[in-house]
Structure 1
Amino acid sequence: MIEPGLTSFAAIILAGGQATRLGGADKASIEVHGRTLLEHALDAVIDASEVVVVGHSVPTERPVTFVVEDPQYGGPVAGLLTGRDALLRSFPTLAVLAVDMPFLTAATLRRLQDAAVDHDGAVLADPDGRRQLAFVVASAALDRVRPDHEAQHGHALWPMLDQLDVVVVPAHAREHRDVDTWTDLRDLADD
């Protein structure tokens, strides 16, 4: 359960996918409005005490830990848990986000943290109510539902989180938008 007034948290940025609908392009390096998607994601987690990027190492202005998920391309659960295991310290709360959401902000994450008080976590939802890969979760709660290492590859994220008390938080404006295709990228560039 997430406690009120909690200020120290760690962030895990998931950047290790195959981006098949983008022809295998490195999402972290794609630019939107003159900045890479990774730079946008790092801005969103500016309040985090520690940041792990699950993906290949690239230069950043902020000190972060890079790690490749085990198994590689094992999906968001493998990435999330590999990122959690790479943290140098323990944190009561984790913020987790996909690298391809350039309109997420630190305010978005604060709103998720506020909504998660007295729950196991909170997840951002688009205007149609679909959960997005942007959420906060209590570390202890995540540990309760963590699959064995062998089961992490291809393990579905939402059924795992559905075992927890996670509040759905509606997105404001375009913060739920992501880049899955070149058309998405073109449309974001027009925003």
Structure 2
Amino acid sequence: MTSPAAPHHDAVLLAGGRATRMGGIDKTALVADGVALSDHAVAAAAGARRTVLVGLRAGRGAPAGVVHTREDPPLGGPVAAIAAGLAAVADPAPWTLVLACDLVRPEPAAALLLDAAGTAPDDTDGVVAVDEDGRRQHLLALYRSDALRAAVRALGDPTGAAVRRLTDGLRLVEVPLPAALCADVDEPEDATRATADARLLD
């Protein structure tokens, strides 16, 4: 749960991607702690004013109260998905939480980002998780909505763009997080580490 002082925010959850290193499976349907990874992301966004789930695969529905949209073209990459998620919110909150749906434990990670944003300087464009190797996790971050939307507009065509290119001009406060809170599923062994019985939803 987020703190009462957590900033007002929307959430854009990225569920697309080809998952080529996982044989093309729907990674977001993998189960950790009895819950699909996409549902962990939705739970992490529980305090959001509006939540948009981008790119959920055919045959899976968004939970009640969550808007589902797709990037155009489909599988256009994470920046295209962020752009689609932002476009689905007509009246944005001051902040936008951006989460990849293959994160294993996004709930506590998002809570820490929201706490950090609550004390961020006024000229900060966002707060971004940093893993134990010092790498920024741009899909585990909270951005000022105006700054993120301006960056998307300045970029032009988002299809296939790198997230680092989108965020290069943003002033971001780094929030160091332990490896367990930055863990995602990119390889089969990641799924094994995430949960001893990682499996696809029936």
| TM-score, shorter chain, exceeding 0.5 | yes
The residue aligned with 1:183 is 189
Q: Quick check: 148-157 or 77-86, which moved more?
A: 148-157
Residue 143, structure 1, aligned to residue 143, structure 2: no
Tell me which amino acid in the other structure corresponds to 1:98: A
Unaligned runs of 5+ in 2: 197-202
Q: How many residues end up aligned between the 2 structures?
A: 187
The residue aligned with 1:167 is 173
For 1:44-59, what aligned pairs fall within 5 Å after superposition? Answer: 44-56=44-56, 58-59=60-61
Cα distance in 2 between the residues matched to 1:149 and 1:110? 26
Q: Give the CA deviation at 1:25.
A: 0.9
| Partner secondary structure for residue 82 of structure 2 | helix
Unaligned runs of 5+ in 1: none
Q: 1:189 to 1:16 in 2, by over 3 A?
A: same
Q: Give the CA deviation at 1:115.
A: 5.4
Q: Give the CA deviation at 1:109.
A: 3.4
Q: 1:115 to 1:168 in 2, by over 3 A?
A: farther
Q: 1:149 to 1:123 in 2, by over 3 A?
A: closer
Q: Give the CA deviation at 1:172.
A: 3.3
Percent of aligned positions with the same letter in both sequences? 36
| Partner secondary structure for residue 146 of structure 1 | helix
For 1:90-105, what aligned pairs fall within 5 Å after superposition? Answer: 90-105=92-107
Q: Give the CA deviation at 1:37.
A: 0.3
Q: Give the CA deviation at 1:80.
A: 0.2
Aligned with residue 117 of structure 2, among 113, 119, 125: 113
Tell me which amino acid in the other structure corresponds to 2:114: R
Superimposed CA distance per residue, residues 49-98 of structure 1 (whole angstroms, 9 cap, x where no aligned partner): 11000012623544101111112111111000100001143221100010
Aligned alpha-carbon RMSD (Å): 2.1
Cα distance in 1 between the residues matched to 2:145 and 2:188? 35
Q: 1:179 to 1:167 in 2, by over 3 A?
A: same
Superimposed CA distance per residue, residues 104-158 of structure 1 (whole angstroms, 9 cap, x where no aligned partner): 2142332342354420001101100111120111111122222468621111111
Aligned with residue 65 of structure 1, among 64, 67, 78: 67
